[in-house]
Structure 1
Amino acid sequence: MPSSSTIVFLALVLASAGAFAQSESSASVPGARRIELTPEGTPFVAEIAVSAGLSTGLYFDSDLMRDGIELEGRERFTLVDVGQATLRLVPSSRVIPGEHFRLVVRFKDGAAPVSASFLLQVHPAKTVPVIEVYRGKRTLETYQQEIREVRAELERCRDESSRLVAEHEAPAGLAGLLSTGTLDKEGVVGRVVTQDILPSSGNALEAASVITYRAKRAVAVVVTLATKAGAQPWNLKGATLRGRSGAELQVLRVWQEPSSPLTQARSIVVEAEAPDDGVQGPYSLKLWEDGPRTITLGNVTFP
C-alpha cells in the first residue's frame, strides 16, 4: 500500500500537468524524453542538452514546415536533418560546453500552437538522444503511464537511498567493502591499459597512465593526468563511461587527487556500477571540468 506522502506526491504531479504552456511527462520509448505543447498558458522554452558529435532526434506528432526551422548558429552543426515530422541535430566539435542555441520549429497545419521553441544547451558529454514532442491533449493512458514512471522513479530513489545508508553505516576499509557486497572472494582484479587507450586529438591534458579495476559490484578507472607547465589547473567536474551501443554505466562517484607543488601529475578515480550481465567493453571515458576543457579516452576495457 503506498504511503500517504507518495499519494500526495502523485496527486501534485497530476495537478501540475496543465499549469504550463509546455509540460514534460513520460515518453513512450524507455530512456526518451517527452515534451507536451498546449495552446493555453504562458510560453515556456524547454531546455535540451546536446553535445558535440552526439545525435539528438526530435519526433513530433504533427508535420513540420521544413522552411520554417530557425536554428541559431546553424553553421556550427554538422547535421541538421529536417524530415516530415522529425528533426535530427548533431553539433560539431566547434561548439563549447555552456553555450546556448535557440531552436524554433513551426507546424504545417497552422493549428495552435503554431510553433515551439527550445533552448539547446551544450554539455561536455551528455545529450538527450530521443525527444517526443506532442501538441494534443493528454489522454488517460498518458497519466497512467506517468504514474507508473513516477512509481518506478520512487522505487529507484528508495534503492539508491538504501545503498547510501548501507555505505554510511558500513565500517571503513576492507570490512566495509565486504559488508556492502562490493567485494567477494574473487577480490579486485586490475589491468594496466595505458597502451591500449585511444586519446582524442582535442584532449586538454595527457593521460600518463590508465589502470582499470573490477570487483563484484563495481568497476573503476584510475587516470593519471599530466598537466603541462603554465596550463590552468584541472578540476574534475564529472565523467561518463559509454559503451559501443551508447549505453552508459552508472557513475557512482569521482575523485581527484589534491594538487601538489611537487608534482604536475594528478590521479583521477571514476567508479561505476557493474551491470548484472557483466562489463562488456570497450568503453569511452569522458571527463570534464567546470569549463570548456574535456578529455576523451577510447578503448577502455576492464579485466
Structure 2
Amino acid sequence: MTSSSIAILLGLLLAGGAATAQSEALDFGPVARRIELSPEEVQAASEIVISAGLSTTLLFDAGLRREDVELEGRDRFELVDLGQTTLRLVPSSRVTAADTFRLVVHFRDGAAPVSASFLLRVHPVKAQPLIEIYRGRRTVATYQQEVRELRAELTRFKEENARVVAEHEAPAGLAGLISTTAMDEHGVLGSNVSAAVSLEAEKWFTSSFVRTYRSTARVAVETHLAVKAGGAPWRAKGAMLRNKAGAELKVLRIWQEQILPDEEFKRLVVEAVAPAASVQGPFSLKLWEADGPRTLTLRNITFPEWP
C-alpha cells in the first residue's frame, strides 16, 4: 500500500470509522485546585489525584503540626516533604492505578477546623500538581483569579461543544474532513517513525511499527500492538500526548481494534487537535486502561512538517 493511500484511509478513519471510538478530554495546562474547609460542619475527605513519579503539592493557609501528619502507605512514596504550610508528595513506582491513601493533617493554631482529611487516589498520569487549602477568609485576588479560570474553562467548554456539534452534523469521509476544516488542499501527510520511537511497556506489549499523520488542524499516531502471551485483553481508556516542555495536545479520540492475548498485532490510533504552532516535538504518548496497572508509553514521536 502506498503512503498516499494510507493517508487517505486514515483520513476516512478519523472522520468516521467503523469501530467504536473513545475519548477522554484533557485540560490544556495545570491550574491550582482550591479546597475550602468549613469550621461549622464536619466535611468528608476531599479526593486528590496523584500519579507515580509526579509531584503534588498541598498549600495551606495555616501552619501545620508537622509531627502529627498521618499518611497511609508512607513507604510507597518516594518523597514526603513537609514544610510549615506545605506538603509535597511524590508517589513511587510501587503505587498502581486506583490505589487510595488516606491523609490527615492537623493545624498548629487550634482554630476550627483543627484537622483536615484527604483521600489520595492514584491515576496513571493525571496528578493534580497544586492544591490550595483554605480554612479562613480568602483574599479578593484569589476570588478574581478563580473567576478568570472559570471563564477560561467555560470558553473551552463552549469551543468543545461547538466542535462536537459541527462534527456530528458533518458528513462522513473526505467530505467530513473538508467541512470541519480538518483537511485542506494539502491533504494528510504521513511518516513512518518506527526507528526513532521507543516503547516503554515491554513486559506487557510489543509494537510492530509507529506512523504519524498531520493535516491542517489535526495529528494522529498509529501503531500496531500485541499483548504478550499470558496477558489479559487490553483496551485504552485514556491518552496523553505531551512534548518535552510539558505542553499537551488535546486528545479527541482513541480508536482501536480489540487487543487480545494472542500475540496478533492490532491497530490503535490516537487523534489530537494540533494547530501548526503547537506541534513542537518530540512528543511522548501515554495510554492507560480503565482500572488496571498496564500503561503504554511511546517516546520520541514526531509529526510531518506542514507546508
Q: Work out whether the TM-score is over 0.5.
A: yes
1:180 Cα shift? 0.6
Conserved 8 A contact 1:240-1:248: yes
Q: Distance in 1 between matches of 2:52 and 2:178?
A: 41
Q: Distance in 1 between matches of 2:102 and 2:283?
A: 32
Conserved 8 A contact 1:210-1:224: yes
1:88 Cα shift? 0.9
Q: Distance in 2 between matches of 1:276 and 1:84?
A: 45
Q: Which amino acid aligns with 1:210?
A: V
Pairing 1:163-182 to 2, within 5 Å after superposition: 163-182=163-182
Q: Distance in 2 between matches of 1:41 and 1:156?
A: 34
Q: Which amino acid aligns with 1:81?
A: D
Residue in structure 2 matched with residue 242 of structure 1 by the alignment: 242
1:203 Cα shift? 5.1
Residue in structure 1 matched with residue 6 of structure 2 by the alignment: none
> Please, which moves more after superposition, 188-197 or 71-80?
188-197
Q: Distance in 1 between matches of 2:196 and 2:86?
A: 39
Deviations 1:80-109 (A, max 9, x none): 111121111111111010110011112222
> Please, which moves more after superposition, 128-137 or 139-148?
139-148
Q: Percent identity?
A: 60
Q: Which runs of 4+ in 1 moved over 6 A?
A: 260-263
Q: Distance in 1 between matches of 2:61 and 2:270?
A: 40
| Structure 2 segments unaligned to the other structure (5+ residues) | 1-28
1:60 Cα shift? 1.4
Q: Does 2:48 correspond to 1:48?
A: yes
Residue in structure 2 matched with residue 32 of structure 1 by the alignment: 32
Q: Does 2:133 correspond to 1:122?
A: no
Conserved 8 A contact 2:76-2:95: yes
For the structure 1 residues 275 and 76, does the alpha-carbon distance in structure 2 shift closer, same or farther, using more than 3 Å as the test? farther
Conserved 8 A contact 1:203-1:295: no
SS at match of 1:234: coil
Residue in structure 1 matched with residue 102 of structure 2 by the alignment: 102
For the structure 1 residues 202 and 41, does the alpha-carbon distance in structure 2 shift closer, same or farther, using more than 3 Å as the test? farther
SS at match of 2:278: coil
Q: Which amino acid aligns with 1:297?
A: L
SS at match of 1:277: helix
> TM-score, normalising length from structure 2?
0.83
SS at match of 1:131: strand
Residue in structure 1 matched with residue 80 of structure 2 by the alignment: 80
Conserved 8 A contact 2:235-2:258: no
Residue in structure 2 matched with residue 297 of structure 1 by the alignment: 298
For the structure 1 residues 92 and 222, does the alpha-carbon distance in structure 2 shift closer, same or farther, using more than 3 Å as the test? same
For the structure 1 residues 185 and 71, does the alpha-carbon distance in structure 2 shift closer, same or farther, using more than 3 Å as the test? same
Q: Which amino acid aligns with 1:45?
A: A
Q: Distance in 1 between matches of 2:67 and 2:99?
A: 25
Q: Distance in 1 between matches of 2:140 and 2:119?
A: 29
Q: Which amino acid aligns with 2:225?
A: L
SS at match of 1:133: strand
Conserved 8 A contact 2:212-2:219: yes
Deviations 1:238-282 (A, max 9, x none): 111122222321111111114589971111111111045231112
Conserved 8 A contact 1:183-1:216: yes
Residue in structure 1 matched with residue 194 of structure 2 by the alignment: 194
Conserved 8 A contact 1:228-1:264: no
Q: Distance in 1 between matches of 2:94 and 2:261?
A: 34
Q: Distance in 2 between matches of 1:30 and 1:293?
A: 24
Q: Distance in 1 between matches of 2:40 and 2:225?
A: 52
1:139 Cα shift? 5.0
Residue in structure 2 matched with residue 223 of structure 1 by the alignment: 223
Q: Distance in 2 between matches of 1:93 and 1:70?
A: 21
Q: Which amino acid aligns with 2:117?
A: S
Q: Distance in 2 between matches of 1:201 and 1:160?
A: 32
For the structure 1 residues 202 and 178, does the alpha-carbon distance in structure 2 shift closer, same or farther, using more than 3 Å as the test? same
| Structure 1 segments unaligned to the other structure (5+ residues) | 1-28
Count residues in correspondence: 275
Q: Which amino acid aligns with 1:55?
A: S
For the structure 1 residues 245 and 66, does the alpha-carbon distance in structure 2 shift closer, same or farther, using more than 3 Å as the test? farther
Deviations 1:166-211 (A, max 9, x none): 1111111111111111112222121212121222266521222111
Conserved 8 A contact 1:104-1:118: yes
> Please, which moves more after superposition, 180-189 or 91-100?
180-189
1:295 Cα shift? 1.0
